[in-house]
Amino acid sequence: MAESGQLALPVEGPPPVRAPRFRPMEPSAGEAPFNDPDYLFEPWWPGVRLFVTVSGSGILVSCRQLIDPLPEFPELRAIPGLVEPDEVLIDGVLMVLDDAGRPDAGLLRRRLGGSGRRDAGSNELPAPARAGSTRPAGTPAFVAIDLLRVGRRSLGTRSFVERRARLVDAVRPADWFAVSRGVIGEGTVFADAAARLGFAAISARLLLAHHRGGPAGEAWLRLPVAGTGRGGMSPLVAVFRALPL
């Protein structure tokens, strides 16, 4: 029994994972694809942007549109076993794939319908999953695009090309989890290939740019591509095999 005036404290497990405070970098709208050896061009992945914090005690997933995506995407809890070192902050894109391995916006909306939104200004919610339904349709996939922190050290002052190299080294790819791929310099050629694969836009990242909170300016551009009507989105595995980097 505890002595008079003292409280017996319960034995606690590992401390909860806490997301580091940071201001995300937001891409700027570009006009059209271009060629420039100072840029990496990659697909604009069709999903929702997600920030994944991994620590020795687990995982924390944050998304501006959702209160907590993990209840609807429990598969993401496997990410700590696929990254090294075991304390990182990853910026990426979450998608849901259909049975053919293609990103499916409808399946993604249905998954997201199970979580509450943070957007107070919007009264519109995706349709929730049907009552009594079992496992949600589709397979989640997460594409990592940037590494923002390792341990307690922010990588914001490092160039994008260095952050991406460290991200590639940190991730052990799986069927549903990989680092984005692209090409350096040849933006117009890459845009044509991306359009044939079913993408509506590509991303252009300035290789030597540091991470900056808020509008990215020329450091990160979203560029629309033409010709997306030539076919539907290719399976994710086919997309990665078609990309050179």
> Looking at the structure, do residues 121 and 229 belong to the same domain, yes or no?
no
Q: Is 145 left (phi over 0), alpha (psi -120 to 50) or beta?
A: alpha
Number of domains in the chain: 2
192: left (phi over 0), alpha (psi -120 to 50) or beta: alpha
Q: Which two tokens stand for residue 122?
A: 């919007």
Per-residue burial over 23-39, b if 16 or more Cβ lie within 10 Å, else e, is ebbebeebeebeeeeeb
**Residue 199 sits in a domain of what CATH number?**
3.30.1490
In a domain, 10, yes or no: no
Matching residue, tokens 């922190």: 149
157 and 240, same domain (yes or no)? no
Per-residue pLDDT of the chain (245 residues; tens, 9 = 90+): 444 444 343 444 445 555 566 789 999 999 999 999 999 999 999 999 999 999 876 899 988 766 678 888 998 999 999 999 879 999 999 999 999 999 999 999 888 875 544 433 332 323 334 434 456 788 999 999 999 999 989 999 999 999 999 999 999 999 899 999 999 999 999 999 999 999 999 999 999 999 989 999 999 999 999 865 556 788 988 888 888 77
pTM higher than 0.85, yes or no? Answer: no
Tell me if 108 sits within 8 A of 95, measured CB to CB. yes
- CATH number of residue 168's parent domain: 3.30.470.30
Alpha-carbon distance of 51 to 64, in angstroms, equals 9
Last residue of a domain, one of 179, 199, 227: 179
CB of 169 closer than 8 Å to CB of 230: no
Structural domain including 236 reads 29-45+181-245
C-alpha–C-alpha distance, residues 122 and 117, integer Å: 9
Of 129, 147, 179, the one marking the end of a domain is 179
Residue 107 placed within a domain: yes
| Residue 17 counted as domain residue | no
Question: How confident is the model at residue 155, as a pLDDT?
Answer: 95
Q: Are residues 187 and 239 in the same domain?
A: yes
Are 72 and 131 members of one domain?
Answer: yes
Amino acid at site 38: D
Residues 56 and 94 occupy one common structural domain: yes
Assess whether 163 and 147 both reside in one domain: yes
Residue keyed to tokens 């907590």? 68
Q: Which residues contact 85 (CB under 8 A, 6 or more apart)?
A: 150, 151, 170
19 part of a folded domain: no
Structural domain contains residue 14: no
Residues 137 and 209 in one domain: no
Residue at 229: amino acid letter? G
